[in-house]
Amino acid sequence: MKKKVFCIVFFLITTLLSAQKIHQTYYSGILTVKDRFPLAFELELTEKKGIVNGFSITGKGTEDETVSDISGIYNRNTKTFKLKETQVISTKSEADLNTFCYIHMELTEKGKFKLKRYEGFFVGLFNNGDTCATGEIILIEKEKLDKITKKIEKKVEKEVKRKSKNEVLNTKVLNDGDDMYINWNSDNLTIFIWDANTEDGDKIDLVINGKEILNNFSTTKKRKKIKYKLKEGKNKIEIKATNLGVNPPNTSRIELLDNKTKYPIITQLQIGKSAIITIVK
Render pLDDT for 76-93 as a digit per residue (tens, 0 to 9): 999 999 999 999 999 998
Residue 7 covered by a domain: no
Question: Does residue 177 share a domain with residue 140?
Answer: no
- Separation of alpha carbons 50 and 39, rounded Å: 28
Q: Is pLDDT above 50 for 13?
A: no
Q: Do 226 and 233 form a contact (C-beta atoms < 8 A)?
A: no
- Separation of alpha carbons 33 and 112, rounded Å: 26
From the list 24, 19, 270, 34, the residue with the least C-alpha distance to 142 is 24
Question: Does residue 40 share a domain with residue 120?
Answer: yes
Question: Does residue 220 share a domain with residue 117?
Answer: no
Question: Does residue 93 share a domain with residue 206?
Answer: no
Sign of the CA dihedral with 239 first, then 225, 252, and 187 last: negative
Q: Do 204 and 220 form a contact (C-beta atoms < 8 A)?
A: no
pLDDT band at 245 (very low <50, low <70, confident <90, very high): confident
CATH of the domain at 34: 2.40.128.30
CATH of the domain at 257: 2.60.120
- Separation of alpha carbons 231 and 211, rounded Å: 13
CA 156 to chain CA centroid, nearest Å:
10
100-152 pLDDT, tens digit per residue, is 999 999 999 988 766 788 999 999 999 889 999 999 999 988 777 777 667 77
What number of other Cβ atoms are within 10 A of residue 208's Cβ? Answer: 19
Residue 4 covered by a domain: no
- Strands of the sheet containing 203-208, edge to edge, are 179-183, 274-280, 234-241, 203-208, 211-218
**Which residues pair with residue 107 across a beta bridge?**
81, 120
pTM higher than 0.95 for the full model? no
Question: What average pLDDT score do residues 150-179 get?
Answer: 76
Distances (CA, A) of 77 to 109, 230, 235: 11, 69, 73
Q: Angle 103-35-68 (CA atoms, 0-180°, nearest 5)?
A: 20
Sign of the CA dihedral with 239 first, then 244, 249, and 253 last: negative
Q: Which of 76, 110, 145 is the last residue of a domain?
A: 145
Give the domain range for residue 224.
168-280
Question: Does residue 135 share a domain with residue 88?
Answer: yes
92 phi and psi, to 5 degrees? -95, -10
Note the pLDDT of residue 156: 72
Question: Does residue 28 share a domain with residue 134?
Answer: yes
- Separation of alpha carbons 61 and 54, rounded Å: 20
Residue 17 covered by a domain: no
Residue 14 covered by a domain: no
Residue 245 covered by a domain: yes
Q: Looking at residue 171, what DSSP letter applies?
A: P
Pick the most confident of 37-46, 109-118, 232-241.
Answer: 232-241
